[in-house]
Amino acid sequence: GENVEQHPSTLSVQEGDSAVIKCTYSDSASNYFPWYKQELGKRPQLIIDIRSNVGEKKDQRIAVTLNKTAKHFSLHITETQPEDSAVYFCAASTGGSNYKLTFGKGTLLTVNP
């Protein structure tokens, strides 16, 4: 089955710096890659997603890149703010009727003011 590795497990940055979180996946049939943000004590919420026919997607300070050949995708957060502090999860799905998201183990991002 699919296996998703996520690095780093913890990341500490200064406010205003950029943060990058990387994930690799094992199943070349995976074609949908969402990123979720989970603040302490709250539910995971989708912040951005990308499909395998796209190499990069941006939404304000957040961007995701996908390299299908290398089977890895990354989350980039620019101009980080304290409210970006949370656990971020990447996930992968093979799509179709195989409705199963495989998550990475998460990255605890701390943005220091």
Residue located via tokens 């656990």: 87
The continuous run of DSSP H or E covering 66 comes out as strand 62-67
Q: How far is the CB of 2 from another protein (least distance, A)?
A: 10
**Residue 34 corresponds to which tokens in the numbers above?**
């969402």
* Residue 24 or 93 having the CB closest to another protein: 93
Is the separation of the CB atoms in 53 and 103 below 8 Å? no
Q: Which is nearer to another protein, 36 or 80 (CB)?
A: 36
Interface positions with another protein (CB under 8 A): 1, 31-32, 34, 36, 42-46, 49, 51, 89, 91, 93-106
The token pair at 54 is: 């796209």
**Dist CA 78 CA 15 (whole Å):** 10
Which residue, 61 or 100, is less far from another protein as judged by CB? 100
> In the complex, what is the shortest distance from the CB of residue 34 to another protein, in angstroms, rounded to a whole number?
7
C-beta of 93: minimal distance to another protein in Å? 4
